[in-house]
């Protein structure tokens, strides 16, 4: 406990300047990760109209994005282990940003599918590389800072959404919008990447080239990531539909569902670091999934302001689970490298993000949207249970304490 309190109040002077500047640079990478994706997401209707695509065509194109993202997550573990997170962050920023303005230039469905696969690949590369860099930085700080990085991702997504809404309102075309944002973030990202931590001898000692696939020793982390992003995906894709349909909200109010969830999730992630230092990562996850389960229950009240509050509670609770889970991966005593482990957990997590909304849609068709939200409470209980099975720092036994 005394060690934890001393780490909590660790002075910035105790951390080398190179690490502090790397923390800022990597934070910028997380902002770019969220902002570039949000830039694409808010202009999907414009791309649909520009390329004369149907809703089914957009669904197929989004499948290309998902496949590309998973491939990027898998490949990134190998690339980071071999070349270091700094080099892969740079490569990913270039790929991610340069392909954004190519999207509106697609000639039709199949070219869009190919471009989005490459765009998703860049996103997957950046996701794992930035998280791996964050783990290296966090080790020097000797306290939890991962939540802050993920909060910056959420903040970047909000920024991208707001800029997208502004440019759309001003009548700026998707082509011009994407070009301006891509050029801006490419320049900022490459300039900031100079300050990222380079690979050191310790990294070289643990380098391997195994594919970033889940294994038995990290199964618990993978399942927690899958479940956490499954719940996030439900709120991301169904909040507005749920508020307008099941809760009877007006369209303008229903549109606030995602904003309430995203804003609360950002705040929850910023608060996560100090909370983990105070109560430990496993207790933190158990507490926050309980809060997220409460949020699901509150959303079921068929009164729009109450349901809106429920999405805020849900976002505040679930937001910190994924970053804290990744911190636990980085600190665990594993046979595989931390780069490969992070990539495997990220891949499993993204699968949950993709599966959750689809499962809710199928269940809602068979029952109702309100009933379809109920399994999220059980998913929260599964996450809490899994925290008792995770390996600790000193070995693979769950009995090793890191709370």
Q: Report CA-CA distances (Å) from 288 to 45, 185, 207, 356.
A: 35, 33, 34, 19
d(CA 373, CA 181): 36
- Evaluate whether 7 touches 277 at the Cβ level (below 8 Å): yes
Q: Which two tokens stand for residue 244?
A: 């307008």
Mean pLDDT calculated for residue range 326-345 = 76
pLDDT at 213: 55
pLDDT at 179: 97
Of 45 and 118, which is predicted with more confidence?
Answer: 118
Residue 296 is inside which H or E element, if any?
helix 281-299
Task: Give the side-chain half-sphere CA count within 13 A for 11.
Answer: 2
* Average pLDDT of span 116-127: 94
Q: How far is CA 233 from the centre of its chain?
A: 10
Q: Is it the case that residue 3 has pLDDT exceeding 50?
A: no
pLDDT tens, residue by residue, 197-247? 998 644 444 445 455 555 677 889 999 999 998 888 777 767 766 776 767
Contact 285, 324 (CB under 8 A): yes
Q: Cα angle vertex 164, ends 86, 90, to 5°?
A: 10
**pLDDT attached to residue 394:** 42
Mean pLDDT of the chain: 83
Report the candidate in 242, 234, 363 with the shortest Cα–Cα distance to residue 307. Answer: 242
Exposed (0-12), middle (13-18) or buried (19+): which is 191, by Cβ within 10 Å?
exposed
pLDDT digits over 130-149, tens only?
A: 998 998 898 888 777 888 89
**Can you give the pLDDT at residue 251?**
61
Is 60 buried (19+), middle (13-18) or exposed (0-12) by CB count in 10 A? middle
Say what percent of the chain tops pLDDT 90.
Answer: 36
The pLDDT assigned to 206 comes to 46
Nearest Cα to 229, choosing from 122, 320, 313, 131? Answer: 320
pLDDT interval class at 254 (50, 70, 90): low
pLDDT score for 239 = 72
Which two tokens mark 150?
């993920």
What is the model's pLDDT at position 399? Answer: 36
- Percent of the chain exceeding pLDDT 70 equals 84
Which range in 54-58, 234-238, 291-295 is most confidently predicted, on average pLDDT?
291-295
Please tell me the least confidently modeled range out of 21-35, 221-235, 304-318, 349-363: 349-363
Q: What Å distances lie between residue 85 and 46, 88, 127, 134, 152, CA to CA?
A: 35, 5, 11, 9, 18
pLDDT of residue 1: 41
> How high is the pLDDT of residue 63?
80
One-character DSSP codes across 29-86: HHHHHHHHHHHHHHTHHHHHHHTT--HHHHHHHHHHHHHHHHHHHHHHHHHHHHH-HH
Note the pLDDT of residue 7: 44
Residue 46, pLDDT score = 84
Regarding predicted confidence, which is higher, 284 or 9? 284
Segment 230-244, tens digit of pLDDT: 888 777 767 766 776
For residues 94-98, average pLDDT: 97
């Amino acid at each position: 406990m005394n060690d934890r309190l001393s780490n909590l109040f660790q002075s910035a002077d105790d951390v080398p300047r190179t690490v502090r500047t790397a923390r800022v640079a990597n934070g910028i990478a997380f902002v770019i990760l969220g902002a570039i994706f949000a830039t694409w997401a808010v202009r999907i209707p414009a791309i649909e109209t520009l390329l004369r695509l149907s809703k089914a065509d957009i669904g197929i194109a989004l499948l290309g994005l998902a496949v590309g993202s998973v491939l990027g997550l898998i490949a990134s573990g190998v690339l980071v282990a071999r070349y270091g997170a700094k080099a892969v962050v740079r490569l990913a920023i270039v790929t991610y940003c340069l392909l954004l303005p190519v999207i509106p230039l697609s000639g039709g469905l199949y070219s869009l599918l190919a471009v989005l696969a490459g765009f998703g690949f860049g996103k997957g590369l950046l996701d794992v590389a930035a998280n791996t860099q964050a783990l290296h930085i966090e080790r020097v700080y000797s306290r939890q800072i991962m939540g802050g990085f993920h909060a910056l991702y959420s903040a970047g997504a909000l920024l991208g959404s707001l800029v997208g809404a502004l440019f759309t309102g001003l009548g700026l075309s998707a082509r011009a919008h994407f070009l301006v944002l891509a050029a801006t973030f490419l320049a900022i990202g490459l300039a900031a990447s100079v300050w990222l931590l380079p690979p050191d001898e310790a990294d070289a000692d643990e380098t391997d080239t195994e594919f970033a696939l889940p294994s038995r020793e990290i199964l618990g982390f993978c399942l927690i990531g899958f479940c956490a992003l499954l719940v996030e995906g439900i709120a991301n894709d169904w909040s507005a539909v749920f508020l307008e349909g099941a809760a009877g909200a007006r369209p303008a109010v229903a549109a606030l569902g995602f904003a309430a969830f995203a804003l609360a999730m950002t705040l929850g992630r910023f608060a996560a670091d100090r909370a983990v230092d105070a109560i430990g990562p496993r207790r933190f996850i158990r507490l926050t999934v309980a809060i997220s389960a409460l949020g699901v229950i509150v959303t079921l009240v068929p009164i729009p302001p109450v349901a809106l509050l429920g999405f805020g509670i849900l976002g505040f609770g679930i937001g910190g689970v994924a970053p804290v889970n990744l911190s636990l991966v980085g600190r665990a005593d594993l046979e595989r490298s931390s780069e490969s482990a992070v990539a495997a957990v990220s891949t499993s997590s993204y699968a949950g993000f993709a599966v959750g909304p689809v499962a809710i849609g199928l269940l809602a068709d068979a029952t109702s949207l309100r009933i379809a939200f109920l399994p999220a409470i059980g998913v929260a209980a599964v996450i809490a249970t899994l925290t008792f099975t995770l390996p600790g720092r000193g070995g693979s036994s769950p009995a090793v304490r890191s709370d």
